[in-house]
Amino acid sequence: MIRKHIVVHGRVQGVGFRYITSSIAVRCHVTGWVRNEYDGTVTIEVQGVEHRVALFIEQVSEGNRFARVDHLDITDLPLVNTSKETSFQIVH
């Protein structure tokens, strides 16, 4: 298991990006959260088996026809207890 902190840069607010991210997380079977930031970026924390987290990051980085991802800043984080975090949440 690994956990990553991701800051997404690009046109990622006001285009449904958090909901897309949540959908990708469900498909990849990872936990964590996603939140809009005041500077126009989106912050994500994601946790799961290494290959699932890698797939999540790959799919998030692609954006879609509404969202444009310019680049990701990714750092490692300590794991969160899986009994406390059981799903992927959109944080407001």
64 is catalytic: no
Active site residue 27: no
| Dihedral, 12, 14, 16, 22 alpha carbons, nearest 10 | 60
Distance CA 77, CA 46 (A): 9
Give the active site residue among 3, 11, 18, 64. 18
| β-strand pairing of 68-77 with 2-11 | antiparallel
Catalytic residue (choose from 11, 35, 36, 64): 36
Active site residues: 18, 36
